[in-house]
Amino acid sequence: MPDTIEDVLGRLPDIRDATRDLKETLLANLVMTGEIPAPTFQEANRGQFLRDRFSECGLSSVSVDEVGNVMGIREGSDGDSARNVLLVAHLDTVFDARADHTIEVREDRVIGASVGDNALGVATLATLPSLLDMLGVEMRSNLMLMGSTRSLGRGDLEGMRFFLENTDRPIHSGVCVEGVQIGRLSYTSLGMVRGEITAEVPDAYDWTRFGASGAIRQLNDVMTAINRIPLPQTPRTSIVFGSIHGGTSFNTIATQAALRFEVRSDSSDEVRRVHERIAEIAEEQTAETGANVKLDIVAQREPGGVPFGHPLVKHTRAVMDRLDITPRVSPSTSELAVFIRRNVPAVTLGVSTGRNLHEAEESVEIEPMFTGLAQLVGVVIAIDEGLCDED
């Protein structure tokens, strides 16, 4: 007889207490993961560490695929008929390999580049097999743990897409593990287009021409024009300017400048409309000024999601509720989008509370981690027991 969700929920407080016994293991995994630089496309060393951890935990089929994804499987008792549950944490970070990756462990928190996004997610995967063994959790399903590569920025979820396109195992359901924030609950993905606009002023530029003012001014005009694009409140649509780079000093006219942006919307039509308008703006700017303004699209997603009433979402909320985690529902543009696109029910969950994300002083709190781990174990057990299947 499968457990009921109440049985699973009843075990959660004990599970949370037990996770404390693995405090040093989790933190050591966090430190050792986080101190290995892993900018997007250079995740191999961090992946190697995770691979070693998977081997040490006795997982089977420990391997690294063509794009660097690291996989390990905790085999289920159902043998050939076991369903496959995929837990994924992205390996890459926003930090350059040359940044200081030293991590500091305080009594109540851990501080350092990438600890929250996503060293803690990876460390959670590295610790989970020991935790399940310690708790005596025997699953019928195969628990597939994967550190995925090329997730962020120009990586465009390549690791995750490669895996789901090429695996011969049907994936029953998925959980994306993010270090922060605990309470995060994503089960829908936004439509998105992500791109870079570069402005270059040619060497033979005619500086006497009206409006001639260098690449940064060109880019500024482009941004002003983008800001004038009308955006509907429904379906929700937004444009994020993520970063700008350009120029070299106070008083030298810049010859190059670049803007990175993302358009997000609940509607793919809106994403397409805004994308087209931005492309026109870039062309107009080139035509009118003689500067070279180019648009380069680096990633796109279709919107979609698991319905709110799906048992996976419902029981995930129940697990969070029992652990006094307040769910913060937000759509995602990360690994979840790949699950959703392939019609695999999945959620994204956070493990702890963090601050100063993507800064050198990025930090995560230790105490919430135990609740975050218990939440993950609860959801995995509920999936394994078939409680999250649709009728």
Q: Which stretch binds another protein (CB under 8 A): 31-39, 186-194, 198-206, 298-306?
A: 31-39
Tokens representing 249 are 């000093």
Reading across the β-sheet that carries 171-180, which strands appear in turn?
60-64, 70-74, 142-148, 84-90, 171-180, 346-352, 184-186, 328-329
Cβ distance to another protein smaller for residue 23 or 169: 23
Cβ distance to another protein smaller for residue 269 or 367: 367
Minimum distance of another protein from residue 99's CB (angstroms): 7
Minimum distance of another protein from residue 334's CB (angstroms): 28
Using an 8 Å Cβ cutoff, are 180 and 120 in contact?
A: yes
Cβ distance to another protein smaller for residue 27 or 215: 27
Q: Which stretch binds another protein (CB under 8 A): 102-110, 228-236, 292-300, 329-337?
A: 102-110
Q: Which stretch binds another protein (CB under 8 A): 19-27, 178-186, 253-261, 314-322?
A: 19-27
Cβ distance to another protein smaller for residue 61 or 102: 102
CA distance 322 to 11: 10
Minimum distance of another protein from residue 197's CB (angstroms): 31
Surface-to-core class of residue 71, CB atoms within 10 Å of its CB (0-12 exposed, 13-18 middle, 19+ buried): buried
Cβ distance to another protein smaller for residue 24 or 391: 24
CA distance 301 to 283: 24
357 binds another protein (CB under 8 A): no
* Backbone φ, ψ for residue 137 (5° rounding): -80, 115
Give, in order, the Cα–Cα distances in Å from 233 to each of 74, 226, 229, 230, 331: 45, 17, 13, 10, 16
DSSP state for residue 142 in the 8-state scheme: E
102 binds another protein (CB under 8 A): yes
* Interactions with another protein, residue window 45-64 (CB under 8 A): 56
Binding residues with another protein: total (CB under 8 A): 19
358 binds another protein (CB under 8 A): no
106 binds another protein (CB under 8 A): yes
Using an 8 Å Cβ cutoff, are 102 and 164 in contact?
A: no
Task: Give, for 320, the enclosing helix (H) or strand (E).
Answer: helix 311-322
* Backbone φ, ψ for residue 231 (5° rounding): -120, 130
93 binds another protein (CB under 8 A): no
Positions in the binding site for another protein (CB under 8 A): 23-25, 27-29, 31-32, 35, 56, 98-100, 102-107
